[in-house]
A = this chain, B = another copy of it.
Amino acid sequence: MMNFLLVAVGGFFGAILRAVISKRLNHTYRFVHFGTFAVNMLGSFTLGILVNMHLHTTANLILCIGFLGAFTTFSTFKLESLTLVHAKQWKQFLLYSILTYSVGLSFAFAGFWMAKVYLS
């Protein structure tokens, strides 16, 4: 029970920060979903780092599962992709899908690698 509460507290703050960044960055540039893209990349990079830091269970529940789990989002990304399909913006759709997928994995790897090299 206590564990789920720690996750929830992390989720509380992760969701706020996501909303703040998304509101600031979405619809600001030509890449209209840049806010969602940015939180997903930043979150993957940070989780890559934290995984290699072998955190205490409490910190892991708050930061990795709660905060970063809620800071990044999959459903919004999919709905935004669907909206691009709906508007027949195929180029934006493909770019958003491919970039999110490949850059997301690269950012997770970069964080993981940096923490392995510089922190251990």
Where the two chains meet, the residues of A that have a C-beta atom closer than 8 Å to any C-beta of B are 3-5, 7-16, 18-20, 22, 40, 43-44, 46-48, 51, 64-66, 68-79, 81-82, 85, 97, 100-101, 104-105, 107-109, 112
Q: What residue in chain B is nearest A22 (Cβ atoms)?
A: B65
Q: B69 touching A69 by the CB < 8 A rule?
A: no
Q: B8 touching A44 by the CB < 8 A rule?
A: no
Q: A68 — which chain B residues lie within 8 A by C-beta?
A: 73, 75-76
Smallest beta-carbon distance A33→chain B, Å: 13
A8 to B71, CA, bound (A): 11
Smallest beta-carbon distance A15→chain B, Å: 2
Which of B5, B72, B81 is within 8 Å of A105, CB to CB?
B81
